[in-house]
A and B are shown apart, each in its own frame.
Chain A
Amino acid sequence: MYKILGTDQREYGPVASDKVREWVAQGRANSQTMVSFEGGPWKALGTFPEFADILRSAAPPPLAQPTYVTGAATLKTSTLSNWGLACSALGFCCFPLALAGIVCSIMGLMEINKNPQSFSTSKTVPIIGLVLGLFLVVGNILLFISGAFTHILDRFPR
């Protein structure tokens, strides 16, 4: 009997190999999914020769970060949060990037909030990204409304 670790970091099973095959066929598991056989160590499903045929014929691997588990789940980095912060910071130079920073930071924050124990990235990272992005957007609007923008553009042409 097998247990698998879903993308929601929860264990599913124990189930028979036919059920695992069914999940692979449905795209619920793939070669990177961590599996424990009969309570043994967690290994990637791709290392189990009995599933090689179904994995070859199944859908392509997901774009999700693979989760490597050796007894306990390893903490992941929230890539979205990091990109959100980077984009928001670059918004000082290229304003539209602040919008991308806001979107990525919100998604990163949601990702961390959904499963905080599986991320090594602190919530502070997407929050800073979000605040920075919003600061730039609000600042831009205020400069536009106050007329200061025209003065800045005259002094510092793009």
Chain B
Amino acid sequence: MTTANQTPPLAASIGRKWGLTLFLSVLLLPLAAEVLLKLGIAWPCAFKMITGLPCATCGGTRALAALGRLDLLSALRFNPMVACAAIVLVFLPFVRYRPNPKVFWPFFWTFVGLNWLYLIFFLPP
């Protein structure tokens, strides 16, 4: 359908919406994590309950709560991947660089694997 004599929407509108969503999520997550931990109702990991081993996101709630308190070192100690993801997501809407998927996904899964190994051996109780 051709729309003559009209003005197209801003080219960045979807990008802004995307940024807003992530920004809200990143603000929302540390707050929710803090409240859940304070009330003592943070969900125990289903994977850990079944296998006895931590999953790739174990320690994530504590990491997000630590980020909310701006305690970066504790956040990285509890779960480096969740802490890094939360920090990256805050700045993602403002970053112009888009990685090549062929480079990004192998890097991503390697990071997930290394993070998981760290959690299995070093996750604080």
Contacts and interface: CB of A to CB of B under 8 A. Distances in A.
Interface of A: 3-4, 6-8, 10-14, 23, 26-30, 32-33, 59-65, 79-80, 90-97, 99-100, 103-104, 107, 111, 136, 140, 143-144, 149, 152-153, 156-158
A140 B46 CA distance: 13
5 contacts: A10-B1, A12-B3, A92-B47, A94-B55, A140-B43
A93 B57 contact: yes
Nearest to A11: B2
Given A99-B28, A103-B21, A6 B9 contact: yes
A104 B25 contact: yes
Contact of B2 (A3, A61, A63, A156): A3
Interface string B90-125: 001100100000000000000000000000000000
Interface string B53-95: 0011110110010000000000000000010000000001100
Contacts of B42: 95, 158
Nearest to B29: A96
A96 B7 contact: no
A96 B8 contact: no
Interface residues of B, number: 48
Contacts of B25: 99-100, 103-104
The 6 closest A-B pairs by CB, nearest first: A63-B15, A6-B8, A95-B43, A62-B12, A94-B60, A64-B14
B27 to A, nearest CB: 11
Contacts of B82: 94
